[in-house]
Structure 1
């Protein structure tokens, strides 16, 4: 039965709140990575696992959401996911070492992976067909609000409290969401008499997906830090990934009668091309979310709160851009053209960021982040729309799940590749900078003398002042090398968008009927 009046709005508030906390936790930790690393005594490269583990869990769960809803019932699965998300958030807060934190972040990602798509379904069921555009608009605002609030809220917590409160804040929201869901969300008819014995489970497919993606991610993430194939674990897990991923593909295509991910839909050209393009979008999106806070804090010297606040203008601009994108699609503007505009915006953001330095101002960052927000609005819905436009109706749920999964995979792998690239480029640029420091260079002598005098003026004895001057110079060189490596990484991300944009020409244009468009809109949000 469709909820009405007060009951409907309770469902709406519950669904949006659950979606927002999932999206907040996708980005909230990014502004706190430096503090978490310092508190736990690990490197920035290691602490990036806090982001990556959450993304990996999402990648595994998102394509399984349809099956899990059928198996457990949507209401049970939804409430169970909120409970898992809430308990894992509490676990993240009291974690006293990196790998405990990473483990709970993975569990948090498993719970969070269900919240977006399931919340969207609840929202649409709460409104009659004539009012579903209202539901879409409300949910779209929540989708934009989450990523905007995440870094801002995270920055405030980092500057005023312990980083663990970035996770504890989810606990009361999760408890309220569970209570409201239990009381106000009704079960659908097909949930009332579920016979799980009749629902086949692709256990091998699920296992291969988890093992293959997890092993590959570990290799990408730890390869640089562990000297790649000089490390035994890297060698073993590389072999596991090489075996598990092709076996998973074969099993889903040929072996399983009820595959957990029906890869046969990838025979459709639009879907296959769309997946490649979505990997690039995920790579650019997650790379920017990771690199911007690091650049602002480690290079420019901003606080976490300042870093988060600068995201707000971009989020505000994105809201009307989502509405404009929908209007353009409704008027028959080619999705390929809109996506191309989004690609240009993303590439412009990346290349703009690659020109900044230690003197970058708040206005510089706001300008770049507004361009990024425009790109996000122009790419998301139209690209999913065009990717599944030529699928048969029965293939739509699987196609949409695969596209969303590829965005998450692009993001997870992008974070790992970015960390490796930053490490390599930092070492290269540091060597280049040091090689230019010649003892007979008068500028070097002048800088050392100025640093020495400055320390001496603060009461440091002559011998320690000279030693301290060289240490200060070493810190300056390291910071400079790190800055240049960040600029290189932004440039690389922009290059991915430029090189992949011709693939848009391979997408077949097809106007979608109302039912298909609704299904796409549900999944896109």
Structure 2
């Protein structure tokens, strides 16, 4: 080994994916691809109304565009580690990046719902392999002392992309076409493929690991993969479609729940007895990685649920366009981007567990602030709430990504990356599912409580009804004024019930955020 292969801090460049190149350049390169992939988890959310109109389908059918992507993404995450080690990390990464780019362009040219769903599944499979390998490349490119700062760049992609998604998707849909939500990935993907080809290298340790696997004849744990894929895929399907399909009143949900439970029960003993499991469950059972796994689930729930439900709230109850609903989240994205680099520095000074606990507390306060929601809330009410979240999430994301590798041997970094991203995806689906159910059931609850007072025997109701009828009468409605007054009061009740339900959603997310604090404090101190 040449002396130049060892850096001043003792880091072996031959084990780095950067090779002789500047590792910060590698961080930017892999973050471009990661940003593009994570962006696609939310960019289509605000475009569903346009997609349903263009393809002549209802909104429920259009929502499969989001569901199929998440399911495919979750399934391939579990196997990406083995494929990367067995067939070459760079080769696998480029294959995923190329497939993602092509399938994105095909999504933009989809001619009906069926073709769009097929291309979204391909996009999800490709994207699921990109993110954990990006993390592994970063982990291998930097010495432990600088990983926090490196993950700050990566964190910008993972945390800011879901925020930018609704804004960009809304603007493209409002001003051009929903097709451009997917077509923009074409040139970005080509750029990313070129940069990865030129600058990312296969580390010496990865090559040795690949040759070792070949000599030992170790093959993919197919049974384990099918069980894990069945468990995660069916879990995602139940969580994403449960509310729409009326939960266990639907045969569809019952079937997927049975598959989910059966695969889970068979998966645990199978994976624990394999020498080369597709998912090393022993890692989750450890104090350090297990706590990181749970914290990342909670972080995914907060990030994805707020990103999906805040634009819906603004469009449904405040009359915002898709573009303006997305813009309300943008200031928080800018704060997040700035905080990523600040926290990247702090991870070398402050123990990660204290930063994570502080981030959980800030996120909980941000959710509590949203429980002060009112009918005349302004643009900046929502923007400031998102800014508070923008302060909190980086305090969680960077340290948890860094500390999750503490004590993990080099040959397990791909596996750790995959499992942390599984936690983020599954946590996001759980968060959206919890929010959707709280919203539906609490809206019914509040409406039933409010209508108890809307009865002819209530003097306040009679006074209000007469005032509203007089208003419509003075506006020229004539004999139709009483009927319009009743309809107007009914609309106000529904709006009030809906706003109260959203307050309950934010309260539930506040509880999830607060749960991060004790989990963070359970982490052990790490060497900074």
Q: Tell me the distance in 2 between the aligned counterparts of 1:130 and 1:385.
A: 10
Q: How does 1:96-495 map to 2 (within 5 A)?
A: 101-119=116-134, 138-143=153-158, 145-179=160-194, 181-182=196-197, 198-254=217-273, 256-331=274-349, 333-392=350-409, 394-441=411-458, 444-445=461-462, 462-463=479-480, 467-495=483-511
Distance, in Å, in 1 between the alignment partners of 2:285 and 2:149 is 35
* Alpha-carbon separation, structure 2, partners of 1:3 and 1:394: 18
1:227 CA drift (Å): 3.4
Paired positions, count: 508
How far 1:473 moved relative to its partner?
A: 4.0
- CA change 1:136–1:241 in 2 (3 A) is closer
**How far off its partner does 1:119 sit?**
4.0
Higher mean C-alpha deviation, range 333-342 or range 112-121: 112-121
Measured in 1, the distance between the counterparts of 2:142 and 2:527 equals 25
Structure 1 position 330, deviation (Å): 1.3
Does residue 86 (structure 1) correspond to residue 101 (structure 2)? The answer is: yes
Alpha carbons of structure 1 residues 85 and 473: separation in structure 2 relative to 1, 3 Å: farther
- The DSSP-based 3-state class of the residue aligned with 1:113 is helix
CA distance in 2, matches of 1:392, 1:288: 35
- Deviation per CA, 1:61-112: give whole Å up to 9, x if none: 3343221212332333222212321233234334466665444333222211
Q: Judging changes above 3 Å, is the alpha-carbon distance between structure 1 residues 136 and 393 closer, same or farther for their aligned structure 2 residues?
A: closer
Deviates more, 1:232-241 or 1:454-463: 454-463
Mapped contact 1:282–1:407 kept (Cα < 8 A): yes
Q: CA separation in 1, counterparts of 2:287 and 2:147?
A: 31
The alpha carbon displacement at 1:410 in A equals: 0.8
- SS of match in other structure, 2:230: helix
How far did 1:252 drift? 0.8
**8 Å CA contact 1:439, 1:445 repeated in 2:** yes
Superimposed CA distance per residue, residues 24-51 of structure 1 (whole angstroms, 9 cap, x where no aligned partner): 2122223334544565677766655443
Q: Which runs of 5+ in 1 are unaligned?
A: 513-525
Q: Is 2:293–2:423's contact at 8 Å kept on the other side of the alignment?
A: yes
Give the Å deviation of 1:153: 1.3
Matches within 5 A, 1:18-29: 18-29=33-44
Aligned residues of 2:162 and 2:304 also touching (Cα < 8 A):
no
Query: Over aligned residues, Cα RMSD in angstroms?
Result: 3.6
Q: Quick one: distance in 2 between partners of 1:411 and 1:143?
A: 13
TM-score, with length taken from structure 2: 0.83
Deviation at 1:394, TM superposition (A): 4.8
Q: Secondary structure at the match of 1:27?
A: coil
Preserved contact between residue 301 and residue 430 of structure 2 (Cα < 8 Å): yes
Say which is worse superposed, 321-330 or 362-371, in terms of deviation: 321-330
Q: Which residue of 2 aligns with 1:51?
A: 66
CA deviation after TM superposition for structure 1 residue 305, in Å: 1.5
Aligned-residue offset at 1:238: 1.8
Q: State the match for 1:520 in structure 2.
A: none
Residues 77 and 219 of structure 1, relative CA distance in 2, 3 Å threshold: same
Q: 1:509: which partner in 2?
A: 525
Query: How far apart, CA to CA, are the structure 1 residues paired with 2:283 and 2:31?
Result: 31
How far off its partner does 1:451 sit?
5.9
The more displaced of 243-252 and 30-39 is 30-39
**Can you list the C-alpha shifts for 1:214-247, whole angstroms capped at 9, x where unaligned?**
2223233333333333322222222211111121
Q: Deviations over 1:182-215 (max 9, x none)?
A: 5665666766997969341111111111211222
Residues 419-475 of structure 1 deviation map (CA, whole Å, 9 limit, x = unaligned):
222222222222222232113445545655666677677876745x65555444443
8 A Cα contact 2:283 2:289, kept in partner: yes
Q: CA deviation at 1:377?
A: 0.7
Q: Provide the TM-score with structure 1 as the length reference.
A: 0.83
Instruction: Determine the C-alpha separation between the residues in 2 that align with 1:289 and 1:115.
Output: 22
Distance 1:142 1:220 in 2: 25
* Structure 2, unpaired ranges of 5+: 1-13
